[in-house]
Amino acid sequence: MKTYTESIPSMTSILSISIVMDENDEKEASLLLRKGFDKAKEIIQIISAWEVGTQMHAVNQAAGICPVVVCDELFYLIQRGLKIAELTNGLFDITFASIDKIWYFDKPMYKLPSALEIAKSISNINYKYVELDPENKSIFITNKGTKIELGAIGKGYIANEIKKLLLVNGIQSGLVNAGGDLVCWGKNSEGFPWRVGIADPNKKESFIAWLPLENQAVATSGSYEKYALIHGEKYSHIIHPQTGYPVKGLQSVTIISPDPELCDAIATSVFLMGLEKGLAFVNQFNDIQCFMIDDKNQYYYSDNLNTNQYVQTN
């Protein structure tokens, strides 16, 4: 058996698909990979908040004005996003894109934003501004300054839809990486579980652990790649939607779950909760596992993560 892999730029990141097929099936593998990428493009043309002409863009443009009728796919995703927002008490919020840009992580910052600037920056973030009408399949953002952006659950959704498409086409083993949101099924070409690495926050392109996985999804939220350095102190790019301030205490949160849409949203939410509250939150669920690294490079695991089986530290 052989692993066939292709990657394309997608949603400001990289979409990579790997499938396991016979060594002589190169032509068919190429066609199936192309089908997977076409599926991703089809979904993005519905859910992208930034591309003019998408249904998501239309919903945002009509904020504070009128409801917009959308397709079942977009209605489902927004509904799912609102349910996760409720589950996390608003730490995951699909209206986070409404934040004013006052923190910069791609150019120097020389002073902290004022308390007034910070308060104003988050004034339009509130998932409760989003109203659903299931009968008419319409979405209405009641506050004019509020926008919806589905990247956090959208990437997981895309990965899962590609997986479902490939399964229908007979692919029993594969891995999809949608901008860091991974879903895998079956085993790799050598007959073993897929190996997914947890990045070392202190060494670029190095891993501190490997997760042997099959039929699972994985997403990591980390503060080590993007940050602002102000007066010698690091400020993470992960901003609390209810305070407007970057959070401290953790470097990395990895979530493992069978549900790809949930992983990214829960990883960010747990990061915002912090170590103790985050672990307590994850430990409520039988099907969600967690691996965390704090600012002191200490590792922590949820109760249901079997470290002997799942975490193999280098």
Which residues does the annotation place in the binding site? 152, 264, 268
Q: Give how far the C-alpha of residue 216 lies from the chain's centroid of Cα atoms, to the nearest Å.
A: 14
In this structure, is the dihedral angle defined by the CA atoms of residues 238, 244, 245 and 248, taken in order, positive or negative?
A: negative
Q: What is the 3-state secondary structure (H, E, C) of 144-176?
A: CCCCCCCHHHHHHHHHHHHHHHHHHCCCCCEEE
By the 8 A CB rule, do 246 and 239 touch?
Answer: yes
Binding site for Mg(2+): which residues?
152, 264, 268
**15 three-class SS:** strand
Alpha helices in the chain (DSSP H): 26-47, 55-61, 72-87, 115-121, 151-168, 260-273, 275-282, 307-310
- Which residues neighbour 7 within 8 Å (Cβ) at sequence distance 6 or greater? 14, 15, 16, 17
By the 8 A CB rule, do 249 and 265 touch?
Answer: no
Structure tokens of 260? 């790809």
Say how far apart CA 49 and CA 229 lie, in whole Å: 30
Say how far apart CA 31 and CA 27 lie, in whole Å: 6
Say how far apart CA 150 and CA 94 lie, in whole Å: 6
By the 8 A CB rule, do 294 and 250 touch?
Answer: yes
Structure tokens of 165? 């498409």
Beta bridge partners of 239: 246
Tokens 């280098």 map to which residue? 314
